[in-house]
Structure 1
Amino acid sequence: MSTARPESGLAEHAYLCLRQAILDRRFEPGERLSVAVVAERLEVGRSPAREAIARITYEGLAQFEPNKGAVVANPDRGELVEIYEVREVLEGLACRLASQRVSAADLRDLRAILADQRAAIDSGDVARHYTVDMRFHARVREIAANSKLATQLYLLQDQIRLAMSTTHRSPGGMPLALAEHHRIVDALESRDVLLAEFAGRSHIARLRKDLAIVEPTSAISGPSVAEPSR
């Protein structure tokens, strides 16, 4: 029996590999994504590489430039603020929907995640905090049970992760993020849709405002930032 992947499987494999390579900065911001180079570096055929580049561009991790073709996106802080403006509304909606659908078991899960977040803060483990932070927001989206909303938020999250590798550290820090997460969970438990939406939006709005006013310091990359996933 042949073990070759179907063409659709090859395209999906190429897309996932290219996406991860960009987020891991194995393709640098501003780097040209030629079909030949992508195919060679990912060890895939040109057709799957071409489809992967098109999909990455559609999702905002790459952009088309005249005379160059697709290049890895290189968002600046202003563009990141715009992304947060959109995410503020969508995360608020996710919390609103989650407040209508949350169960006792869901609340226990969220509280357990907050305990993990506290442990990460107490140990000064920024990378772990980054991972737990993503788990928290993913769990809220899961509770909200709106696949279209979740898809858009995950796309924004990838763009934020890429942008955070080329922008600067914002003030606030991990303890403040944890306090805001607690307010979100408390609002979900209250089943108050307006309070839940406000808690979700306020969390993102604070980060957006921080990004708009923070003075540049030194470049950061990936999980080394205190709050990259929001």
Structure 2
Amino acid sequence: MTVASDPRVTDRVHQELRDRIFAGDLPAGARLSVPALAERLGVSRSPVREAIVRLVHERLAREEPRRGAVVADVSLKSLIAIYEVREVLEGLATRLAVENAGRRLLRTLEEVLGEHERAVSAVDLTAASEADMTFHRLIREAADNAEVVRMLDDVQTQVRLAMRTTQVTGGPKLAIADHRAIVRAMEAGDPAAAEGAARAHIARLRAVLAGQAGGPR
């Protein structure tokens, strides 16, 4: 009989492994050995095994013959395809969020933009990335559509995985200008303009990635 592990321990192990993957401590192709990770994290094997199953489901890991689970990677070609999907979803989320864009949300977005600008000025790429993700998270949550949030969460996970090894040239400064355009459209209460600004933002980033890949813009 298999004894289920404590869900709280599994959650903690899962988050720890996610953090290590995004930080690059567990690079692409690294083998996720259950015994080794259990020893390193000071837990039994069951929560590690269950956490790895979650990582595979999230496409942060994949199963390989004779090797077991390894940390996944995202090719530049796949990332560009992800951005094509992201453009549509971010546009929809922003359009929906306009209906819920009260002063409190708009003030928070302005605060995050300020944090983003300070991080870019200080060349703090980690803080800039966090501010960027927070900006988009606030908008998708304001959309108040569980399916849109779920799909964009999945997209964001893949983007974070890819960005360990792929950088968008000029991305941080480009993002700030685009984010300001999005907020202006939201402040004006214009759903179509807000959607257009969000889609243009992602499309520009995708074009930069395509250029880096040597493909058409």
Which TM-score band applies after superposition, normalised by the shorter structure?
A: 0.7 to 0.9
Once the two structures are TM-superposed, the CA of residue 215 in structure 1 deviates from its matched residue by 5.7
Once the two structures are TM-superposed, the CA of residue 68 in structure 1 deviates from its matched residue by 2.0
Taking a change above 3 Å as real, the CA distance of residues 38 and 123 of structure 1, as seen in their structure-2 partners, is: closer
| 1:183 alignment partner, one of 174, 181, 184 | 181
Residue identity in the other structure for 1:174: P
Once the two structures are TM-superposed, the CA of residue 183 in structure 1 deviates from its matched residue by 0.9
Alignment-derived partner of residue 207 in structure 1 = 205
Aligned residues: 210
Residue identity in the other structure for 1:186: R
State the distance in 1 between where 2:126 and 2:26 align: 21
Aligned-pair identity (%): 44
Superposed, 1:57-206 pairs within 5 Å as: 57-167=56-166, 169-206=167-204
Q: Which runs of 4+ in 1 moved over 6 A?
A: none
Residue identity in the other structure for 1:72: V
State the distance in 1 between where 2:43 and 2:150 align: 26
The SS at the match of 2:99 is helix
User: TM-score normalized by structure 2?
Assistant: 0.88
Taking a change above 3 Å as real, the CA distance of residues 125 and 28 of structure 1, as seen in their structure-2 partners, is: closer
State the distance in 2 between where 1:124 and 1:22 align: 23
Segments of 5+ residues of structure 2 without an aligned counterpart are none
Equivalent residues of 1:74, 1:166 under 8 A apart: no
State the distance in 1 between where 2:180 and 2:20 align: 34
User: TM-score normalized by structure 1?
Assistant: 0.83
Equivalent residues of 1:94, 1:141 under 8 A apart: yes
Q: Judge which range, 83-92 or 53-62, deviates more.
A: 83-92
Superposed, 1:25-36 pairs within 5 Å as: 25-36=24-35
- How well do the aligned residues superpose, as a CA RMSD in angstroms? 1.9
Alignment-derived partner of residue 221 in structure 1 = none
Q: C-alpha offsets along residues 31-90 of structure 1, whole Å, 9 cap, x if unaligned?
A: 121322222222221111111001001001111222222110022211211221222121
